[in-house]
């Protein structure tokens, strides 16, 4: 029980510290990244670019990324947020105006992060260079979700776990089905 209380306290302290982070580049770069990631626009655009310019590998990576992203969004926003009612960080902790533009839904887990990580983790095994490129905005989305006061760090970590799990499960599904049928 003491460990849980310590984790909870650390989560709150880290939220306050990250929200108070006042860096010129962060204030200029993070909001546009979040806006691009809103409603998964960034990942859809990446998928279109991969599919149009990447040949068979690009089409395969785009399909895997979009599928993983959709399943991660469904699990995080459609299932987990309904099961876990967690309030967003208090507005008093957030010293900037981004706090006014937060969703009213449950904070746990971060659906933006789950979608970003699922897309990236699905693309990376198929097209590693593109997966590495996608990892940069995915990490920025995760950082922005805490910086803006929309999530606690543990919400983002849970989003990462959802995204990685979905990508791994979908990648393993054909092998699992083949084994089940033979």
Domain spans in the chain, listed from the N-terminal domain onward: 29-181
Instruction: Please write the tens of the pLDDT for every residue from 118-172.
Output: 999 999 999 999 999 999 999 999 988 888 888 889 999 999 999 999 999 999 8
- Confidence class of residue 22 from pLDDT cuts 50, 70 and 90? confident
For residue 124, give the 3-state DSSP assignment. Answer: coil
pTM of the entire predicted model:
0.87
Q: Is residue 7 over pLDDT 80? A: no
Q: What is the pLDDT of residue 17?
A: 77
Spatial separation of the C-alpha atoms in residues 123 and 101, rounded to whole Å: 30
* Tokens read off for 21: 């982070």
Largest Cα span, the chain: 59
- Confidence class of residue 34 from pLDDT cuts 50, 70 and 90? confident
In 47-83, which positions are buried (b, 16+ CB within 10 angstroms) versus exposed (e)? beebbeebeeebebbbbbbbbbbbbbbebbbeebbee
* Tokens read off for 152: 């606690």
Q: What is the pLDDT of residue 118?
A: 97
- Confidence class of residue 97 from pLDDT cuts 50, 70 and 90? low
The answer to which of 15-29, 58-72, 158-172 has the lowest mean pLDDT is 15-29
């Amino acid at each position: 029980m003491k460990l849980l209380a310590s984790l909870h306290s650390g989560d709150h302290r880290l939220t306050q510290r990250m929200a108070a982070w006042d860096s010129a580049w962060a204030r200029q770069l993070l909001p546009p990244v979040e806006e691009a990631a809103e409603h998964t626009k960034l990942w859809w655009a990446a998928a279109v670019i991969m599919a149009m310019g990447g040949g068979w590998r690009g089409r395969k990576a785009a399909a895997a990324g979009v599928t993983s992203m959709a399943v991660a969004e469904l699990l995080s926003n459609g299932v987990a947020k309904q099961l876990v009612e967690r309030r967003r960080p208090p507005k008093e902790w957030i010293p900037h105006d981004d706090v006014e533009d937060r969703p009213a839904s449950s904070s746990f887990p971060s659906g933006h992060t789950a979608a970003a990580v699922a897309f990236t983790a699905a693309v990376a095994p198929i097209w590693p260079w593109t997966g590495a490129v996608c990892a940069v905005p995915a990490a920025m989305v995760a950082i922005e979700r805490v910086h803006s006061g929309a999530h606690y760090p543990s919400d983002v970590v849970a989003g990462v776990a959802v995204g990685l799990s979905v990508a791994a499960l979908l990648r393993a599904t054909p092998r699992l089905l083949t084994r089940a049928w033979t």
